[in-house]
Amino acid sequence: MIIYPAIDVLDGRVVRLAKGDFDAVTDYGGDPVAAAEAWKAAGAEWLHLVDLSGARDGKRRQQDLVAAITATGLKVQTGGGVRSERDVEAILEAGASRVVVGSLAVSNPHTVIGWIGQYGAENLAAAFDIRLQDGIAYPTLKGWTEQAPRTLVELLADYKRAGLAHALVTDVDRDGMLQGPNFELYADLVTVKPDMNWQASGGVSCLDDVKALKSAGLGGVIIGRALFEGKVDLAEALSC
């Protein structure tokens, strides 16, 4: 299992949003590259970079930051408001190893399937932000304010033959809350599609959470707030 330290960047500063709310921002400082270098020094090989400025306003994409972080030697997977093929190309040209596509992967899967064919399954990941309704996972759209008409399992059927290899799943009610991941959700996903490199995102609060996700067969875990607030020691987590 790969551990992805997460850096969310808004207007050049490292932040964390509670449940994706731009009005609920915790500021962790103004040097994303220094934060990335610290995680690399602790042993990280990958970084999960969320371009919140790009998500909020696609014209303000932080390509120079992607290039600066990849120059540290870290492999970077990054997304945030990816809306077009040009966005994908620009992010890859900046040095990212993998582009994360969120809302478009839900609203227009056929476009994303085309990108998988063009750029390769290792260079793209789909991000599904879900909310549970009667125990069933539904993707959300428009800043988590709208529920997609189809379930996550139904949506995954579109990607079954497309070769999608990496998928991030966030239970939005747990994101940034340090309440623990939704273990049942991730166990179900591994059962439904065991050949997918599933990445758990949101809720990790302690080292035991990381160990449990590894035992469940997850391909990766994204950890943000728990690292910045000292709930999880990255070097210790990597040693597990």
8 is catalytic: yes
CB 24: neighbour CB atoms within 10 A? 11
- Yes or no: say if 74 and 43 are a contact pair by the CB < 8 Å rule: no
Burial class (CB in 10 A: 0-12, 13-18, 19+), 126: buried
129 is catalytic: yes
Residue of 8, 51, 87, 209 marked catalytic? 8
What are the C-alpha distances in Å from 209 to residues 129, 137, 175, 178? 19, 21, 14, 10
Task: With CA atoms as reference, report the closest residue to 167 among 154, 179, 152.
Answer: 152
Tokens of 205: 């609060």
Residue of 87, 129, 171, 209 marked catalytic? 129
Any idea which residues carry the catalytic annotation? 8, 129
